[in-house]
Amino acid sequence: MIRSEPQRALVVHAASWMGAARLPRVLARAGAHVTVIAPKESLILRSRYVREALPVTNPGDVRAVAEAAAAHCAATAAVTRSCSRRTILF
């Protein structure tokens, strides 16, 4: 049997939405390695299913959040896939 690397999920969360804290659990149960970029006080970063937490100090600074996401993807050699606007807003 050939074992492959687990799928990686990068969740970028800037809103103050408590329901988003459930997302890492769903992704982890599906077999994903979950990384989250979110404000440091966000509940989603406290999920035990988050394998890598990348807190940001100013989530309103879109450039800083985008740079953190780009740096993470470059460091993990992640493949970027396009997604819908609705996914981005989630």
pLDDT tens, position by position, 39-60: 888 889 999 999 999 888 877 7
Say how far residue 74 (Cα) sits from the centre of its chain: 14
Residue pLDDT, tens place only, 65-80: 888 888 877 777 655 4
Please give the pLDDT value at position 13. Answer: 81
2 occurs within a structural domain: no
30 assigned to some structural domain: yes
User: Which residue segment(s) compose the domain that 37 sits in?
Assistant: 8-89
Number of domains present in the structure of the chain: 1
Query: Which residues lie below 8 Å from residue 28, measured CB to CB, with a gap of 6+?
Result: 34, 49, 51
Element (H, E) at 71: helix 62-76
- Taking the mean position of all CA atoms in its chain, how far away is CA 64? 15
Instruction: Report d(CA 42, CA 81) in Å as an integer.
Output: 25
Distance separating alpha carbons of residues 27 and 24, to the nearest angstrom: 5
Is 1 among the domain residues? no
